[in-house]
Amino acid sequence: MQLHGWGRYPRIDSEQLEPASIEFVQAIINDKGFRDSVIPRGGGRSYGDSALARNVISTRFLDSFLQFNEEHGTIRCGAGVTIEHLLRVAIPKGYFAPVLPGTRFVTIGGAIAADIHGKNHQRDGSFCDHIERFSLLLASGEVLECSREENVEAFVATCGGMGLTGIVLEASLKLEKVPSITIRRESLVSANLGECIELIEKHQASKYSVAWLDCQAKGEMLGRSVLHLAEHEECGSQEFRKRWGPTVPFSTPAFLLNKYSTKLFNNALYSLRKKTAGVKIVNYDSYFFPLDNIKHWNRVFGRKGFMQYQLVVPTDSAKVALTEILKLVADSGKGLVVSVLKKFGESNENLLSFPSAGYTLTLDFKNEPTVFALLDRLDQIVLAHGGKLYLAKDARMSENVFKNSYNNWEKFVEIKNALDPDCKFASLQSKRIGLTSQV
């Protein structure tokens, strides 16, 4: 079957195995002689090729809840449990996920593999900072129990390691007690990038913070944006909510999404958000997962798909670096609607985790031949300012860019080789960026 990530680029013919239990996963690893590499796959929400290989082992049926300690707020579940399912169980008990990505369809195994972050990294770190332990199936068939006290090297390599050390089977997560899941959102308008950064710095004590940014604005309006701050309401709902909006039924013609239509949309969206700025009480799903309410929204980029480009640059050079990047994107006319700016707190000890102290910008680009040269130019700006790109969003980063931005890659390879000496676990991405052999 043909597989792809959420960006729908690249695509690969792959054999996808969907074991129904941990025992079947172990049997596959022990008995199946793979002729090519294999990689675990969760919800398929990484954007590029980090979960693509000639052989894929889906963990989506490892979706059982094994234990919930309400007193301590810890939950142990299978790697195939999604954020949505986790919230369905946790919310009625007064708990909430400590870190949420932009979609509720990410699995726990995928969240660990990418060490996902949310709108609260500056306060609460990334997802794996709240993982207490997990079970890791190695290429040998052995199962390791990994934590910050036990099999530590496997822990720090697997958290953010994009599935290259083995298959996460189960995990224990520390949840957060919250007064309600009702969100008090304050929206602040900024006329340009400088104002936006000033607002983020001024309100960095806010629990959640994320800015929508117009990546096509130029001149004095470069980086104009709307910053959305949020806190949990003291009195509000403790009821899980599932909401669906419209569906994109098929891939739309790619020519409909161009610099003119995007500019019109961005202008309209900025004007609307400027008019509705201020404080508003909203449900958690509309704040954390706005795009989930449009089913198959990735189809609007056309059949060839798109690339999401996420970077982080250090705080001290963020304004200069982001200005260079936004000028280049605005002049190219290729930046699209989903452009997000957030501030990260300090990095953790996980070897390939993406977040580090600074600002992270996310940009979407339609997959077309001329966009690759633009992305190469953006790479050089990111490198020049000591930044890096997010592996879970990447579909085309070069080996040189990766190895010059991820300082711990050699230590990761050393640990991976000890855990997987025959390099059974590899992906299209890991081969492209030189973490595993091309063979």
- Asked if the model's pLDDT at residue 61 lies above 70, the reply is yes
Spatial strand order in the sheet of 55-58: 15-17, 55-58, 38-41
Mean pLDDT of 190-202: 97
CB 131 within 8 A of CB 99: no
Of residues 91 and 247, the one with the higher pLDDT is 91
Residue whose entry in the numeric block shows the structure tokens 């806190």: 231
Name the phi and psi angles at 219, rounded to 5: 60, -135
Tell me whether strands 182-190 and 225-232 are parallel, antiparallel or unpaired.
antiparallel
pLDDT score at 165: 98
Span of 128-137, 198-207, 283-292, 371-380 with lowest mean pLDDT: 283-292
Give me the percent of the chain exceeding a pLDDT of 70: 98
- Asked if the model's pLDDT at residue 281 lies above 60, the reply is yes
CATH architecture, range 182-397 = 2-Layer Sandwich (3.30)
Span of 134-143, 263-272, 305-314 with lowest mean pLDDT: 263-272
Q: Distance (Å, rounded) from C-alpha 107 to C-alpha 81?
A: 5
CB 161 within 8 A of CB 417: no
Residue 146 confidence class, pLDDT cut points 50, 70, 90: very high
Q: Distance (Å, rounded) from C-alpha 138 to C-alpha 112?
A: 16
- Asked if the model's pLDDT at residue 334 lies above 90, the reply is no
- Asked if the model's pLDDT at residue 399 lies above 80, the reply is yes
Q: What is the pLDDT of residues 75-114, one digit of tens each?
A: 999 999 999 999 999 999 999 999 999 999 999 999 999 9
CB 161 within 8 A of CB 351: yes
- Asked if the model's pLDDT at residue 261 lies above 80, the reply is no
Q: What is the pLDDT of residues 223-232, one digit of tens each?
A: 999 999 999 9
Tell me whether strands 38-41 and 55-58 are parallel, antiparallel or unpaired.
parallel
Name the phi and psi angles at 17, rounded to 5: -100, 140
- Asked if the model's pLDDT at residue 137 lies above 70, the reply is yes
pLDDT averaged over the chain? 93
Residue 271 confidence class, pLDDT cut points 50, 70, 90: confident
Q: Distance (Å, rounded) from C-alpha 415 to C-alpha 92?
A: 40
Count of Cβ atoms closer than 10 Å to residue 98 Cβ: 20
pLDDT score at 333: 87
The torsion angle over the Cα atoms of residues 201, 205, 207 and 212, rounded to 10 degrees, is -10
- Asked if the model's pLDDT at residue 439 lies above 60, the reply is no
Residues 6+ positions from 235 with CB-CB distance below 8 Å: 179, 180, 182
Mean pLDDT of 18-25: 94
Burial of 207 per CB tally in 10 Å (0-12, 13-18, 19+): middle
Mean pLDDT of 266-281: 79
Residue 438 confidence class, pLDDT cut points 50, 70, 90: low
Nearest by Cα to 259 from 365, 174, 347: 365
- Asked if the model's pLDDT at residue 401 lies above 70, the reply is yes
Domains of the chain by residue range? 182-397
Mean pLDDT of 235-253: 77
pLDDT score at 385: 98
pLDDT score at 298: 86
- Asked if the model's pLDDT at residue 62 lies above 70, the reply is yes
pLDDT score at 133: 98
Long-range residue pairs from 382-387, CB within 8 A, at least 24 positions apart, any chain: 382/311, 382/313, 382/321, 382/325, 384/321, 385/313, 385/314, 385/317, 385/320, 385/321, 386/313, 386/314, 386/317, 387/311, 387/312, 387/313, 387/314, 387/321, 387/358
